[in-house]
Every structure is written in structure tokens, then in C-alpha cells.
Amino acid sequence: MRYRAQREAIVATCRRLVEQRLVVGTAGNVSLRVDDLLLVTPSGVDYDQLTPEQVGLHRLDGRAVEAPLSPTSELPMHQAIYAAGPARAIVHTHSVAATALSCVVEEIPPVHYYLGIFGGAVRVAPYAPYGSPELAEATVAALQGSSACLLGNHGAVTVAGTLAHAFRRAAYLEWLAEVALRVLSSGVTPRLLFAEELAEVTPRIQEYGQHPGEEI
């Protein structure tokens, strides 16, 4: 089996997503670009039952190379993201706060400097049916200049240079979405950060606790 270590890392990441309540059931999906191929989770397999052998290896055009099961229905979204930029890993979640927030805002308001983790605005892609070319296109557009976006009435996506970094961003994104929801539901006019304040903190927070090779 090719890329065993990378497949094992995908399985481990999926289990962590369940443990941290970032997905439920078979929701969400994870992929990793390796050379000119991609590894991606299969469709409809509970993550506690997922094995490295079931993680599919595909060409970037979607053709199976070593994939015993059908890939996630969101394979077109993963393909589009890899085709559009330098991302090497993608984590797509259906986490509660991010999904709820995607129904009420067009982008995450600047309620906390953690927004700088993502390098730019975290926008909400307009709703489109899951697995559709329209959703793939909307996701790529929402990710422009950022390493994360919300999917309207659906969930969230984070991208990075490594799988570990994409997972960390997914966890921070859910925390930030939860804070934003609480602020917006408080009934009090929120005190938001100015663009200048975010611009000052963004490069510093992206260097904090550096992880070599995770510049994306």
C-alpha cells in the first residue's frame, strides 16, 4: 500500500475530529496532497471504523489509483482547492458553532485577534448543494487570501501546508465561531477590532509557536 504513513495520519485526524466534536457520524472529510496525487477519506464510513487501507489514493483529476471505496462526495471541492492554490491538506468539518454562524453572517466579524490565524477575512461561501461544482467554485472563491472559510448552511473548511496544521486551524476556527455567536447573541453592540489592529497582530500570531514547513 502506497503512502501508508500519510493514510494513517488521515485516519488519526478523523478520529481527533470526532473526539473534539468537529464532526458527527460520517460528516466532513479530510484530504492530503502527496506529489501529484491526493489521498482522501471515503464516503459513508464511520471514522471509528475507518482504516488506512480505506483511504483512497486518486489522481488530481479524480481518477482512482488505489481506492477500494467511493471517495467522499466532496471530492470536487478538494480537487478545486488544490488546483487553485498551494494547499497540501484540507479539513472539512460540520462543527456546530461554525455551521450555525454560517447561517447568520457573510464573514466572521473581528471579535478576537485569533482571526489573524487565518491570514485574512474568513468569509461565508453561498449555499450550494453538497458535492456540486457550484459548491467547489464558491469554496475556492471564499478562500481567496485566507486559509479558512465557512460554507453557508453547511460547515467549514481549513487548508494548510500540513495535515496537522489544517486540523489546528479547524479547532481554532470552531472556537472563534463560538465566540462570535455568543457576542452576536448578547444583544449588546459589540466592540470589534479595527482593520489596523488586525493587520498589526496577524503576522505576529502566524509566527507564534512556529511549525516548520507550515507556511501556507
Three-state SS for 177?
A: helix
CA 189 to chain centre: 30
Neighbours of 58 (CB within 10 A): 20
What is the rounded CA–CA span in Å between residue 74 and residue 135? Answer: 9
> Alpha carbon of 9 to those of 28, 159, 164: distances in Å?
16, 16, 9
Cell numbers 497540501 correspond to what residue? Answer: 88
Three-state SS for 156?
A: strand
Q: Which residues contact 131 (CB under 8 A, 6 or more apart)?
A: 73, 74, 75, 76, 77
What is the rounded CA–CA span in Å between residue 60 and residue 49? Answer: 26
- Is 74 tagged catalytic? yes
The 124-125 sheet, strands edge to edge = 64-66, 56-59, 37-40, 29-34, 89-93, 155-160, 148-151, 124-125
| CA-based R_g, the chain, Å | 17
Q: Per the residue annotation, which of 19, 66, 74, 107 is the catalytic one?
A: 74
* Catalytic residue list: 74
